[in-house]
Amino acid sequence: MTRLFENERRSLISRVRRIVSNDAVAEELVQESFLRLLDRPFMEHSAALLHRTARNLALDYLRSKKVRDRRPQGLREMDEGILPPTDHVVEMADEWQQLIEVLEQLPERTRQIFLLNRVDGETYAAIAGMLGISTSAVEKHMMRAMKACRDWQRGRGTD
């Protein structure tokens, strides 16, 4: 497998770099691809699997980057180890408290469904099964919760 990696490394880095537009990230993702396949037995199609794994990791990276980029500037800075000014932290805490108050005003079932989905990461189908309701009902509760969040966000001047 090591020889395969050495033979494919440049090609992999080039391919991943085209996807993520960052040399350092491309190197890391290619290395991660190799590590994921290191313990697998060598097969005839291992090169294709290595390329597929690298491509999938690159696409996963872009998806997570898109999510990170949507986060407020202060949270992105904290992810990078940069501490925001104290007054900004106080402002962010006030905004979070306001959002919590908005969520507390939702009907109990709507709030429960929203938290199960957004905090616990449960799917609509899983929530429906847990609560003994239809997926359509879960969708309606989520629309209500998301509308409340959008209204709150618009009220503070951030879209």
Q: Does 92 or 119 have the greater pLDDT score?
A: 119
Per-residue pLDDT, 132: 95
- Decide: pTM greater than 0.85: no
Amino acid, single-letter form, for residue 17: R
Residue 53 · residue 37 · CB < 8 Å: yes
Rounded to whole angstroms, how far apart are CA atoms 79 and 68?
Answer: 9
**For residue range 39-51, what is the model confidence (pLDDT) as tens digits?**
766 666 678 888 8
* Percent of the chain that is helix, strand, coil (3-state, to 5): 80, 0, 20
Give the mean model confidence (pLDDT) for residues 55-80: 74
State pLDDT tens for residues 122-141: 899 999 999 999 999 999 99
Angle between helices 124-131 and 135-155 (to 10 degrees): 120
Residue 14's nearest CA partner among 1, 30, 3 is: 30
Please give the residue that has the higher pLDDT: either 89 or 36.
Answer: 36
Fold observed for domain 106-155: Arc Repressor Mutant, subunit A (1.10.10)
Rounded alpha-carbon distances, angstroms, from residue 67 to 61, 64, 147 = 10, 5, 20
- Tell me the average pLDDT of the chain: 83
Q: Where are the domains of the chain?
A: 2-70, 106-155
Classify burial at 37, counting beta carbons within 10 Å of its beta carbon; exposed 0-12, middle 13-18, buried 19 or more.
buried
Alpha carbon distance 30, 46 (integer Å): 14
- CB neighbour class for 3 (10 Å; exposed up to 12, middle 13-18, buried from 19): exposed
State what percent of residues in the chain have pLDDT above 70: 80
